[in-house]
């Protein structure tokens, strides 16, 4: 399977590379304004947020520290259960730090709301969430998301860090998969 085949598995491109970079620039400018004069630590949630972290960090015209967490949600099927286990914790002590958690997509929000209460118990100076995409169900969750790229319909999307069975993360665009991929 070569790269051309991979791109052609996308039937519907929701967001192109250019649109994604433009949106991240907007979010970066909001963050620059909101955190002027403060030290910021951005925390990427592995593995999906790798692309967003890399491009958001480079869109930020200021100093920023980067750290990572990996979590797994015990889920049945495709939905997360909200019961979370930490696979890789932060290397950074976030006590009194300004922390922004960066994610690529929030679906039910269960994983993230668990993560936020875990991080909040470590007494950061502030704690906010930045996500590139958000699905409708996420709006029912009780944690506020300060920075959102786009709200999208309840469809399964891939690309730009988002996988289907660990593939498609390396696509530059975000889109939906052709039905033949699933069969």
| Residues near ligand 5GP, by CB under 6 A | 48, 73, 80, 103, 105-112, 156-158, 162-164
Candidate residues 23, 24, 42, 48; the one interacting with Mg ion per rule CB under 5 A: 48
Candidate residues 163, 167, 169, 181; the one interacting with Mg ion per rule CB under 5 A: 163
Q: Is 67 among the catalytic positions?
A: no
Catalytic residue among 55, 93, 107, 151: 107
Nearest CA-CA partner of 102 in 77, 65, 141:
65
CA distance 170 to 13: 15
User: Closer CB to ligand 5GP, residue 23 or residue 97?
Assistant: 23
Q: How far is the CB of 96 from Mg ion (least distance, A)?
A: 26
Residue 2 burial class via C-beta count within 10 angstroms: exposed 0-12, middle 13-18, buried 19 and up: exposed
When CB distances are held under 5 to 8 angstroms depending on the partner's kind, the choice from Mg ion, ligand 5GP, none that residue 157 binds is ligand 5GP
Q: How far is the CB of 45 from Mg ion (least distance, A)?
A: 5
CA distance 42 to 151: 22
Tokens linked to 77: 């099927």
Q: How far is the CB of 164 from ligand 5GP (least distance, A)?
A: 6
Q: State how beta strands 65-73 and 174-177 pair.
A: unpaired
When CB distances are held under 5 to 8 angstroms depending on the partner's kind, the choice from ligand 5GP, Mg ion, none that residue 109 binds is ligand 5GP
In the region spanning residues 55 to 114, those forming contacts with Mg ion, defined by CB under 5 A, are: 103
Strand intervals (E) in the chain? 10-15, 40-46, 65-73, 84-88, 98-106, 126-134, 147-151, 174-177
Q: How far is the CB of 22 from ligand 5GP (least distance, A)?
A: 21
Indicate the Cα dihedral angle 152, 104, 73, 158, nearest 10°.
70
When CB distances are held under 5 to 8 angstroms depending on the partner's kind, the choice from ligand 5GP, Mg ion, none that residue 71 binds is none
When CB distances are held under 5 to 8 angstroms depending on the partner's kind, the choice from ligand 5GP, Mg ion, none that residue 110 binds is ligand 5GP
Check if the beta carbon of residue 90 is closer than 8 Å to that of residue 67: yes
Residues that are catalytic = 107
């Amino acid at each position: 399977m070569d790269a051309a085949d991979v791109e052609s598995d996308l039937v519907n491109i929701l967001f192109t590379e250019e649109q994604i970079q433009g949106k991240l620039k907007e979010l970066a400018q909001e963050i620059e304004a909101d955190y002027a004069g403060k030290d910021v630590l951005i925390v990427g949630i592995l593995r999906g947020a790798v692309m967003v972290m890399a491009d958001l960090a480079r869109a930020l015209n200021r100093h920023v520290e980067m750290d990572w967490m990996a979590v797994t949600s015990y889920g049945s099927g495709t939905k997360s259960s909200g019961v979370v286990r930490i696979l890789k914790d932060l290397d950074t002590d976030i006590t009194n730090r300004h922390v922004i958690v960066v994610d690529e997509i929030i679906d039910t929000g269960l994983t993230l709301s668990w993560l936020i209460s875990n991080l909040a118990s470590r007494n950061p100076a502030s704690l906010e969430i930045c996500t590139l995409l958000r699905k409708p169900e996420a709006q029912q969750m009780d944690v506020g998301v300060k920075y959102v790229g786009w709200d999208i319909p309840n469809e399964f999307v891939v690309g730009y860090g988002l996988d289907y069975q660990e593939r498609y993360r390396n696509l530059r665009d975000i889109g939906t998969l052709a039905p033949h991929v699933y069969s």
